[in-house]
Chains A and B, each alone.
Chain A
Amino acid sequence: MVQIFMGAISLGLLWAIVTIGVYITYRILAIADLTVEGSIVMGAAIAASAIIRGVNPYIAIAISFIGGLLAGLVTGLLHTKLKIPSLLSGILTMIALYSINLRIMGKANISLLRMNTAYSAFENLGVNHNGAVIMVGIIFVGCIIGILYWFFGTEIGCAIRATGDNPQMVRAQGINTNTTIILGLMISNGLVAVAGALIAQSQSFADVQMGIGSIVIGLASVIIGEVLFGKRNFFSRLVSLVLGAITYRIIIALVLKLGMSANDLKLFTAITVAIALALPVFRSYLKPLKKSIKKAE
């Protein structure tokens, strides 16, 4: 049981980075960006290909980050310069990335067993695998939260936040909303690629299919975080994303333990997210109902 929890926490920490990426597009820019499904694999593919060629795992993660930035850039250009709707732009990049990721890896999957990974340094100190993932995860998540907290407080960061809120007003203040949208998409996908690189090293393989459903998992974590851990200021929001991602993994571990088939997981997640997104609608149905009940009393 403890092992299951440790596993859920370590996986949750890595997926927290995906969650933060999804949050940047979905909540800050108000765009549902499906590029994520491709950029997470891209991060994994780049890191795995680099590591089996003997590249230092941290440098491999940095290259993954750059790959993710580029993926976000492509979606951003499709959306802003070519005026393709954001959802479709993301899908186009995602599909293109499938082929590109196969090219990067040269095959459908790469094993990283017995390779020197980002976790090796801690494992060599005698920490078990989950422990090492948790430590590295905390370091990465901590740095990312710190940097993002600073960045979204800067002039450029404020401009990006305002863009998702009211692009019309942002342009009236002399800000090029194309630039802010592209920047947001780049940062988001860069982070997701870093997560992909870390996840691949943690599970000891990169697979071209591993991104399927990642956007939904990211959304589920964002929503769980917001519902359970509040959204007072930006810092607590970022922390709530991490807690949301970990909670999601714990929930999944529990339902698996209770006997749900692993094959049904994606269905389970999709239904959960659909219900969570529909909550405001349910509430608006419930309100008049409650009122009429009160009246009847």
Chain B
Amino acid sequence: MLSIKKITKVFNPRTINEKIALHNVSFTLKEGDFVTLIGGNGSGKSTLLNCVAGVYPVDHGNILIDDINVTNLCEHKRAALLGRVFQDPIMGTAANMGIEENLALAYRRGQKRGLKWGISNKEREHYREILKTLELGLENRLSTKVGLLSGGQRQALTLLMATLKRPKLLLLDEHTAALDPKTAQKVLELSDRIIQEENLTTLMVTHNMKDAIKHGNRLMMMYEGKVVLDIKGEEKNKLTVEDLLVRFGHVSGEEFANDRALLS
């Protein structure tokens, strides 16, 4: 489904600020895989998602989605295949436009846009139906400007927008991190429900180890621009936070030791 083949991303190459954000990363996702991605600050999680989405071009390597090589495809063309929700609730929606207008923009993702009316009455009914499933009362506020919604409401809406037209791959980048714990939990449950119902192939970044263990069928951990852990199947089901900490210490410690070895 998604094949990442030896991708490398360097920011500010050949300057003192040079930063290798992704270093030879490779992995493949199967159809329906729901991956939770964890890792420390600056380990390259967002960069990985942004490279998949085409926000940045990669320096080396290839990215294939459903055997289509998207490595050189620009962001808006790749969008046809992707649904995305960002960490910042402001990023995913147009604040000065109505709820229905935002949904209508998302409904046409990947389609050619013409001089047809931007939103039809039939669509409106559809939007009302799916907004009901959020149980936030948004179905009665179709024309309310999104800027007036709370962060949690906006994230829930962005999630709907990302999945309104079934994406081949769903990218969630710490999409609950900016919300209060209760709302975060709600949005996470909603995400899980939609992903299960639609059987969406998903890459979800989170900072919360418990969430990473609880959700998905596969867990990956990044460290200094590399995927250092990739746990799936039965092993993933039995995983505990303690296991994860031990294994992370092990992997990063080893890294550390290697670095030491190189220096000495």
Please list the residues of chain A having a beta carbon within 8 angstroms of any beta carbon in chain B: 151, 153-159, 161-162, 165-166, 168-177
Give the shortest distance, in Å, between A288 (CB) and chain B (any CB): 24
> Which of A154, A155, A166 contacts B93, CB < 8 Å?
A166
Per the CB 8 Å criterion, the residue count for chain B at the interface is 35
Q: Given A172-B53, A172-B92, A176-B76, is A154 in contact with B115 using a C-beta cutoff of 8 Å?
A: yes
> Which of B53, B104, B110 contacts A158, CB < 8 Å?
B104
**Chain B 42-66 near chain A by CB (<8 Å), digits 1 or 0:** 0000000000010000000000000
| Chain B residue, CB-CB nearest to A163 | B94
Main secondary structure of the interface of B (DSSP, over half): loop
| Chain A residue, CB-CB nearest to B78 | A174
Give the shortest distance, in Å, between B158 (CB) and chain A (any CB): 8
| Contact segment of B22-30, B95-103, B231-239 | B95-103
- Do A173 and B105 touch across chains, with their CB atoms under 8 A apart? yes
Residues of A close to B116: CB separation below 8 A: 154-155
Residues of A close to B210: CB separation below 8 A: none
Instruction: State in angstroms the CA–CA spacing of A155 and B94 once bound together.
Output: 15
What are 15 A-B contacts with C-beta separation under 8 Å? A154-B117, A158-B104, A159-B105, A165-B94, A165-B95, A165-B96, A166-B93, A168-B91, A169-B92, A170-B94, A172-B79, A172-B82, A172-B84, A172-B92, A174-B109
- Do B95 and A177 touch across chains, with their CB atoms under 8 A apart? no
Main secondary structure of the interface of A (DSSP, over half): helix
| Chain A residue, CB-CB nearest to B161 | A173
Residues of B close to A158: CB separation below 8 A: 97, 101, 104-105, 118-119
Instruction: State in angstroms the CA–CA spacing of A106 and B91 once bound together.
Output: 50
- Do B110 and A174 touch across chains, with their CB atoms under 8 A apart? yes
The reply to whether the CB of B140 lies closer than 8 angstroms to some CB of chain A is no
Residues of A close to B80: CB separation below 8 A: 174
Instruction: State in angstroms the CA–CA spacing of A171 and B118 once bound together.
Output: 17
Q: Given A155-B116, A158-B118, is A175 in contact with B101 using a C-beta cutoff of 8 Å?
A: no
Residues of A close to B77: CB separation below 8 A: 174
Beyond A155-B108, A158-B97, A166-B91, 11 additional contacts (C-beta under 8 Å) are: A154-B114, A156-B114, A158-B104, A158-B105, A162-B102, A168-B91, A169-B91, A171-B75, A173-B108, A175-B76, A176-B76
Give the shortest distance, in Å, between B109 (CB) and chain A (any CB): 5
- Do B115 and A162 touch across chains, with their CB atoms under 8 A apart? no
Interface hub of A159, A166, A172, A174 (most chain B Cβ within 10 A) = A172
| Chain A residue, CB-CB nearest to B104 | A158
Give the shortest distance, in Å, between B108 (CB) and chain A (any CB): 6
- Do A170 and B105 touch across chains, with their CB atoms under 8 A apart? yes
The reply to whether the CB of B264 lies closer than 8 angstroms to some CB of chain A is no
Give the shortest distance, in Å, between B123 (CB) and chain A (any CB): 12
Residues of B close to A154: CB separation below 8 A: 114-118
> Which of A161, A168, A173 contacts B106, CB < 8 Å?
A173
The reply to whether the CB of B113 lies closer than 8 angstroms to some CB of chain A is yes
Give the shortest distance, in Å, between A275 (CB) and chain B (any CB): 24
What are the 3 A-B residue pairs with the smallest beta carbon separation, nearest first? Answer: A174-B79, A155-B113, A158-B118
- Do A159 and B91 touch across chains, with their CB atoms under 8 A apart? no
Give the shortest distance, in Å, between B208 (CB) and chain A (any CB): 24
Give the shortest distance, in Å, between A243 (CB) and chain B (any CB): 21
Give the shortest distance, in Å, between A170 (CB) and chain B (any CB): 7
Residues of A close to B108: CB separation below 8 A: 155, 173-174
Give the shortest distance, in Å, between A164 (CB) and chain B (any CB): 8
Interface hub of A156, A169, A170, A176 (most chain B Cβ within 10 A) = A169
Residues of B close to A151: CB separation below 8 A: 115
- Do B93 and A169 touch across chains, with their CB atoms under 8 A apart? yes
Q: Given A172-B84, A174-B80, A174-B111, is A157 in contact with B96 using a C-beta cutoff of 8 Å?
A: no
Instruction: State in angstroms the CA–CA spacing of A158 and B102 once bound together.
Output: 9
Residues of A close to B102: CB separation below 8 A: 162
Give the shortest distance, in Å, between A258 (CB) and chain B (any CB): 39
Instruction: State in angstroms the CA–CA spacing of A90 and B105 once bound together.
Output: 29
| Chain A residue, CB-CB nearest to B54 | A171
Instruction: State in angstroms the CA–CA spacing of A154 and B117 once bound together.
Output: 4
Instruction: State in angstroms the CA–CA spacing of A259 and B74 once bound together.
Output: 59
- Do A174 and B76 touch across chains, with their CB atoms under 8 A apart? yes
| Chain B residue, CB-CB nearest to A27 | B96
Residues of A close to B92: CB separation below 8 A: 169, 172
Give the shortest distance, in Å, between B84 (CB) and chain A (any CB): 5
Instruction: State in angstroms the CA–CA spacing of A156 and B105 once bound together.
Output: 10
Residues of B close to A165: CB separation below 8 A: 94-97
Residues of B close to A170: CB separation below 8 A: 94, 105
Instruction: State in angstroms the CA–CA spacing of A159 and B84 once bound together.
Output: 18
Residues of B close to A162: CB separation below 8 A: 94, 97, 101-102, 105
- Do B79 and A173 touch across chains, with their CB atoms under 8 A apart? yes
| Chain A residue, CB-CB nearest to B85 | A172
Instruction: State in angstroms the CA–CA spacing of A161 and B77 once bound together.
Output: 20
Instruction: State in angstroms the CA–CA spacing of A151 and B115 once bound together.
Output: 7
| Chain B residue, CB-CB nearest to A153 | B118
| Chain A residue, CB-CB nearest to B111 | A174
- Do A175 and B113 touch across chains, with their CB atoms under 8 A apart? yes
- Do A156 and B113 touch across chains, with their CB atoms under 8 A apart? yes
Q: Given A171-B75, A173-B108, is A159 in contact with B113 using a C-beta cutoff of 8 Å?
A: yes
